[in-house]
Structure 1
Amino acid sequence: MDPTHHQEDPVPWEVPRQDPLFRQVSHIYSWIVPRLGSPYEHQNVMKVSEAFSNAWAGWRAPERRWLAEHLVAQFGVAITLKEPEEYEWSQLLYKPLATKAGSLPAEGGAWPLIRAPERRRLRAVEDCVAAIARDFPDARVAREWGGAFFAHERMTVNKLQRTSAAEWECLLRQLEALPEKLPALVDFLAAHDEPLSKALPTADALFLQAYDASHLADTRLERFRALLGGIDNVYAFAVEKGLKPNKAAVARLAIHCASTSGPDQARAFAAEPLQVQVSAVDLARDILFDAFAYIHGGKCLLEPDRVVRCAQPSLRTSPL
C-alpha cells in the first residue's frame, strides 16, 4: 500500500451500535415497522434487529456490508408501494437474509466440522500478526493491536471457513506483505502527526479488502448501478410526495443514472483504482440511506446535482 493512499480502516467497534453499518440496518428496520399491516408483523420485524445485534460480531465484514446494501435497496422498493401488503416482508426476516449473506449455511444445511485446513488458516493469521507486532516500533501499540485483532470474534476459524479460497489468498498475502511496508507507513504517519496504529489493519478491514480484491469490477459496477437506481427512485418519490427537491435537477439525475448502463461507463469504472470503485459503491449506499433518513426524520436530501456527479464516468475527478 502506498503510504500516500493509506485508507482508514473500518470503524473499530465493541458493540454493534458502534458500527455504522449496523446503525444503517437498525434504522431501516425501525422505518419498516410503521409500514407493516398488523401487530403480529410489527412484533416479528422488531425482533429481527435484535437478532442481528446478537449475531453481528459473528458476521464477516463483507456480509455486513452486503446486508446494509440489500436492505437499503429493498426499502427503496417497499416505500414506493401503495399498500404494505404488496411487499413480502418475510424476506426481511433474519434467517433468509443471513443465509443470503453467507453467515448461515444454506437452508437445511450446516457448516462442515472445523478441520485441519481451517485451523491452519487461523494459525497462519496468528503467526503473521505475531510477527508484525514483534517488529512494530511501538510495543504498546503493537500489543494492543494484537489483542484487539482477535477480540470480539473479529477473526475466527468459522469466519475463515466462510472465506473463499481467492479471498483467503488475498488476505494472507496482505498480512505477509505488511512487514515490508510498515517502515514507510510508520514514517508517513509520524511525519503527518497521525497515530501509528493506523498502519495496522483491523480484521474487518482485511476481510473487506480481500473480498474486494478477489472480485471483478463488474460486480462492483452492478452494485453501484443498483444503488443509483434506488437513488433515482427515491428522488422521484420525493417529488411525488412534495418533499421539495428541484424537479429539473431530479430529471437530470434520472438521465445520469440511466447513462451508467452504457459500455463506456463500464470501461471507465473498471479503469479506476480498486479503492475508488469500492468508495463509489459505499458512497452511493450512504446517499440512498441519507435520502431515506430525510424522508423519515427530516434530514436534508443531498442536492440532485451533487448526486449526479456520483454517476459521472470519471469517478476520481468528480467528487461529491
Structure 2
Amino acid sequence: MKPLCIAEMGHFFVGGRRARVAGRPVAEIQLVPGSPPYRADMNGEYLVASLYVEHARPEPVTRPCPLLFWHGGGLTGACWDTTPDGREGWKLWFLRRGWHVHVSDAVERGRSGYAPFPEIFPGAPLHRRVNDPWEQFRIGPSHAEGRAHPGHQFPLDHYEDFLRQCVPRFVGTDADMLAAYLALVERVGPCVIIAHSQGGHFACAAAQAAPDLVRALVLLEPSGFGAGAMPDIPVLLLYGDHIARDPRWVTLRAAGGAFAARTPRAALHDLPAEGLAGNGHMLMLERNSDAIAARVQGWLESNL
C-alpha cells in the first residue's frame, strides 16, 4: 500500500455547559489499596457535555472541505478507525483520498467523558448484551445458535472484537449532543458529514440548523432525520440487506424512503439491489466496506 503523508493530526474538544449537583451524600473511600481515605464529595459545579474530536489532514488536501464522521448509538469514533478484522477503516480510506477527516466521540461516549446521573444526565445508561448487535444489527437471527443470515458480510470470526468497542448509551441527552455537534460544525466550517444510525438524526438536525455550513450528508441506515425540513443540500442514504427479516428495520427503512421522497436532493441507494448483498447495519465495518466507501466517494464527487 502506498505510504500516506499526513501534514497535521491532533485532537480537540468543543461544546459543553456548566451544571451543578447538590444534595448528594459525602463518603470516604479508598481509591488505591493502602492509600489514605479520599473524601468523595460529588456536590458542586461540573463542566459537562463536551465533544471529543480527532482530526488528520493529508498532504496534499485534494477535496473541497473537511469530512466529519459521526457514529451511532452505543458506539464511539472507533468504528471509523479499524474494522473488527483489522483492516483500515473509513477514516484512513477517505484520508488516503485527500480528505481532511474529523472523527468524534459523541457527548457521553468514549473520550468525551460522562456526568453524574440522574442529576445532570437524566437516567442510567443502557448497555448492550452479547447477543444484541448480532440480532438487532441483522447479522443473523440467533446469536445463541451462531446462525447468520445467508451471505452475510460481517466478519463473524471477529464478532467479539466488535463487542469490545460498544459503550454505555445514555438516554435524554439529545439536546446536549446536538449542541456539541453544532459547535463542531461551526468550528470546522463548511463540511461534509458521514453519519451512521443515531448519528444520522444529529447530522440532519445540524444541517437543518446550519444549512450554510453543511455541504452534503451521507447517512448510513439513519435512525432519525431531525425535526425540520431538510435544506437544499445533497443527501445520500444507504441501506443494507435482510431488512425484511426484522419489523423494526422495516419501519426504519420506510421512514428513510419517506424522507427521501420529500427531500429534493436526496438519493436513496438499496445496496443489495445494486449488487452489494449481505450487509447488515454496520456497513463501514463489514467485509465489503471498501466497496461501499467507493460508492460514497463517487457520489460525493458527483454532487459536491
Name the TM-score, length of structure 2 as normaliser: 0.26
Larger strand percent:
2
TM (norm. structure 1) is 0.25
